[in-house]
């Protein structure tokens, strides 16, 4: 407990221990091969149960998730992946197609009950609606990738796919638009490529 | 250790324990007031040190971070925030202005050494460059928010600000463009609003 200057006490927030930091950030890697160990629907639901709580602008939550199992669904997905991504997408125990709901604002009266009129503001302003949906679904995709890692699974996010092809196949009414495909599973044989370099602090961080 | 069918052994990945899941997802909240406890430059560096490792498309890493301390820098920032965000931005111990580097592709030869020609592909295709920068910087903003929580600090992300005003003030050469402002600190008195509802699984998740 920390005593504030005005006499109010506040409990310090929990933080991640070294295992948690390793699992999500410092030692986590993008898997390129997967072990032949199934990923259950319960595990996939667990990922969503974590990711759903992280924040979005005006609580809009525009991200949608399609979990594509092995078999018929996967056969419909793989041809739309770039050639270099097909083998790993075919072999992954589970695959998530992440999408933005272009009609996310229909939920505003439920999600932001003290500002229901924001629904109509989004309806009237296509640029605001598109930018809000695109930005916040990408933000949520970041949460999703770390949520996959949080449950002890490896994530293989891929931007290399024919988005229009996936959308026509999986979202024919046009309301959802694919933004990222994520392979999910336990790492297989030689799953990691050499780690690529990261930018230096002086390239990324400024102080003002 | 799990024995694979082909005789190769793989070590299970670590996962987050309940404290870690609580800290990042299930009990974490957006702080609206901050305690009068400083946030050090070392803590802010620690946030960046975690967030930098999470994945981006073609390892592009377009997110840039400006940490704005109290004093002169903060005085330049606050007037560009929406009125409802000014008091909390003024009082936060630390503030991060997250931005996209519109010239992120200059780093491709270093960051993706086996595909240096991708730099020129981005240079030649403005739509690809803009979309890649926007999507991946938002993805990294998601990582950043969870990295703030990982070090035991509360994050207050805000989309309500005059982006052109911030860019003119902090990034006058036009190369960086602000995408999100995040207050950072220890929660203060009555820091949490009532938790807003989240979408149901049936609204978000499909199975294919």
- Per residue in B154-190, pLDDT (tens digit) is 999 999 999 999 999 999 999 999 999 999 999 998 8
Q: What's the distance, Cα to Cα, between the start and end of chain B in Å?
A: 31
A131-160 average pLDDT score = 97
Please spell the DSSP secondary structure of chain A, one letter per residue: -EE-TTS-EEPPPP---HHHHIIIIIS----SSB-S----HHHHHHHHHHHTTS--GGG---EEEEEE-TTHHHHHHGGGB-HHHHHHHHH-SEEEEEEEETTGGGGHHHHSTT-TTHHHHHHH-HHHHHHHHHHHHHHHHHHHHHHHHHTT-EEEEE--B-HHHHHHHH-TTSSEEEEEEEEEE-B-SS--PPPPP---HHHHEEE-
A150-170 average pLDDT score = 97
- Chain B residue closest in CA terms to A95: B208
Please check whether residue B163 touches A, CB under 8 A: no
Strand ranges of the sheet holding B94-101, from the earlier edge strand across to the other edge: A205-207, B63-68, B94-101, B176-185, B154-158
Please give the share of chain A, as a percent, with pLDDT higher than 90: 90
Residues of chain B contacting residue A207, judged by C-beta atoms under 8 Å apart = 41, 66-67, 69
pLDDT recorded at residue A6: 45
Cβ atoms of B169 and B77 closer than 8 Å: yes
Beta-carbon neighbour count of residue A10 at 10 Å?
17
Supply the ipTM of this predicted assembly. Answer: 0.95
Does pLDDT of A3 surpass 60? no
Q: Do A23 and B10 touch (CB under 8 A)?
A: no
Could you tell me which CATH class the domain A36-183 is placed in? alpha beta
pLDDT confidence band for B6 (50 / 70 / 90): very low
Map out the domains of chain B as residue ranges.
36-183
What pairing do the DSSP bridges indicate for beta strands A9-10 and A63-68? Answer: unpaired
pLDDT recorded at residue B10: 60
Size of interface A-B (CB pairs under 8 A): 279
Residues of chain B contacting residue A204, judged by C-beta atoms under 8 Å apart = 48, 52, 61, 63-65
Query: Which residues pair with residue A176 across a beta bridge?
Result: A101
pLDDT confidence band for A198 (50 / 70 / 90): very high
67-106 in A: which are within 8 Å (CB) of B? 67-69, 73, 76-77, 97
Does pLDDT of B21 surpass 50? yes
Cβ atoms of B36 and B69 closer than 8 Å: no
What is this structure's pTM? 0.95
Query: What does the alpha-carbon distance between residue B207 and residue B192 come to, in Å, rounded to a whole number?
Result: 35
Please give the share of chain A, as a percent, with pLDDT higher than 70: 95
Query: What does the alpha-carbon distance between residue A188 and residue A205 come to, in Å, rounded to a whole number?
Result: 36
Beta-carbon neighbour count of residue A72 at 10 Å?
10
State chain A's mean pLDDT as an integer.
94
- Which of A14, A73, A147 faces B23 most closely, judged by CB atoms? A14
pLDDT confidence band for B197 (50 / 70 / 90): very high
Q: Which long-range contacts (CB under 8 A, 24 or more apart) does B189-193 make?
A: B189/A4, B189/A6, B189/A8, B189/A10, B189/B33, B189/B35, B190/B33, B191/B29, B191/B31, B191/B32, B191/B33, B191/B34, B191/B154, B192/B29, B192/B30, B192/B31, B192/B32, B193/B30, B193/B32
pLDDT recorded at residue B122: 98
Residues of chain A contacting residue B207, judged by C-beta atoms under 8 Å apart = 41, 66-67, 69
pLDDT recorded at residue A10: 60
A47-51 average pLDDT score = 98
Q: What are phi and psi of A48, to 5 degrees?
A: -65, -40
Query: What does the alpha-carbon distance between residue B90 and residue B66 come to, in Å, rounded to a whole number?
Result: 16
pLDDT recorded at residue B3: 42
pLDDT recorded at residue A5: 45
């Amino acid at each position: 407990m920390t005593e504030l200057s005005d006499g109010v006490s506040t409990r310090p927030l929990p933080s991640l221990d070294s295992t948690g930091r390793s699992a999500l950030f410092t030692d986590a890697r993008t898997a390129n091969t997967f072990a032949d160990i199934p990923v259950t629907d319960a595990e996939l639901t667990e990922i969503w149960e974590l990711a759903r709580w992280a924040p979005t602008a005006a609580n809009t939550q525009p991200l949608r998730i399609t979990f594509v199992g092995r078999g018929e669904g996967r056969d419909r997905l793989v041809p739309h992946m770039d050639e270099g991504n097909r083998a790993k997408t075919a072999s992954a125990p589970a695959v998530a197609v992440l999408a933005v709901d272009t009609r996310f604002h229909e939920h505003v009266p439920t999600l932001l009950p003290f500002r229901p009129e924001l629904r109509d503001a989004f309806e009237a302003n296509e640029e605001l609606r598109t930018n809000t949906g695109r930005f916040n679904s990408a933000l949520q995709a970041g949460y999703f990738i770390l949520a996959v890692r949080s449950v002890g699974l490896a994530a293989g996010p891929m931007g290399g796919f024919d988005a229009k092809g996936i959308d026509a196949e999986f979202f024919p009414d046009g309301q959802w638009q694919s933004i990222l495909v994520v392979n999910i599973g336990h790492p297989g044989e030689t799953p990691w490529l050499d780690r690529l370099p990261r930018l230096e602090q002086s390239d990324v961080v400024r102080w003002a």
